[in-house]
Each structure stands twice: as C-alpha cells, then as structure tokens.
C-alpha cells in the first residue's frame, strides 16, 4: 500500500507575536515575543490531478491563519487562572496580583488553555483542518503542524481523521 504526504515550510510562513505562559500555578512568565515559524504536512489520497493538495492553495490557507496571529498579543481564554475579559474596546488580563490592558485590535483571543508552542501548533492545525474541509472539501488522513518559537525550539501537533 502506498501513502502520500506533502510538507510545506516556507520563509513567509511566519508570524510575530507577544505572549506569556504559566509554568506552574503560581508562576507566570513576563510578557515577551517570538518570531514563530510554521510548517505543515498533509497526508491523504491523490486527487484527480495526482496531488494530495495544491501547494499554492495550502500556502494561502496557512498564510491566512497566521495573519490573524501576526503582530498580536496571544491570549489563552481557557486558562484556569488567567482571566481574560473584554472591557469596552480593550482586553483586560489578570493573573494573581498582575494586570495587563491591551487594545482589542492588538489581541488574538485563542480558545486554548495556555499559549505554549504545543497548543499553538494544535490551534493552527485545527484551523488548517477546518479551512481544508470548508474550502476544498478535503479531510486529510493526517495533518501535522509544527510551530518553532525560536531556532531549535519547536513543538508539533498531529491530527488524524477517523477512518
């Protein structure tokens, strides 16, 4: 049996963003930023053109997802001890005795528990899976997204479809 997959990792599949994570219930990092790089793999059957998916279409879908994160403060809305609230045009964030306020347009509110590279990879993978399904009616057998925070430090998430 043969299987096919494609991988895309390009110099323009990047986004710059600020974030902080909690490393323990009482320990929250300082706000800081990264120049994230993203790569994606899609596994599935060949289509009528003998492709898993068109590289150009995949790149455009991924660029669109990353554009929503680029130059934003990434905020986890499902964290158990970080409170994220929309306060009339600004986003107020609280953790223990710390408080931040950001303009609403500068924030990406993400339905994740922490803005770790692992959960960012899962978030991007799910967004890409949904975009492939809605735009191309494609349900990949396997989708893998890798997010690199800085050189040599990356995390990946792999989603598999139920056969």
pTM: 0.95
In this prediction, residues 19-44 reach a mean pLDDT of: 92
Q: Which fold has domain 5-78+107-160?
A: Tetrahydropterin Synthase; Chain A (3.30.479)
SS3 30: coil
Q: Is the pLDDT of residue 146 over 80?
A: yes
pLDDT in tens, 72-123: 999 999 999 999 999 888 999 999 899 999 999 999 999 999 999 999 999 9
Q: What is the DSSP string of 64-107?
A: HHHHTTTTEEEEETT-SS-EEEE-SSEEEEEETTEEEEEEGGGE
Strands 142-150 and 107-110: unpaired
In whole angstroms, what is the distance from residue 45 CA to residue 10 CA? 23
């Amino acid at each position: 049996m043969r299987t096919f997959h494609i991988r895309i990792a390009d110099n323009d599949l990047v986004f710059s963003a600020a974030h902080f994570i909690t490393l323990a219930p009482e320990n929250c990092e300082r706000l800081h930023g990264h120049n994230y790089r993203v790569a994606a793999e899609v596994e599935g059957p060949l289509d009528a053109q003998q492709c898993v998916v068109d590289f150009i279409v995949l790149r455009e879908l991924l660029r669109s997802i990353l554009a929503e994160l680029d130059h934003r403060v990434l905020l986890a809305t499902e964290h158990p001890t970080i409170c994220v609230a929309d306060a009339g045009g600004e986003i107020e964030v609280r953790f223990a005795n710390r408080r931040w306020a950001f303009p609403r347009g500068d924030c990406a509110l993400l339905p994740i528990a922490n803005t770790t590279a692992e959960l960012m990879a899962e978030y991007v993978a799910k967004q890409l899976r949904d975009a492939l399904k809605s735009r191309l009616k494609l349900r990949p057998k396997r989708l893998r997204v890798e997010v690199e925070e800085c050189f040599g430090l990356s995390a990946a998430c792999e989603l598999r479809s139920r056969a």
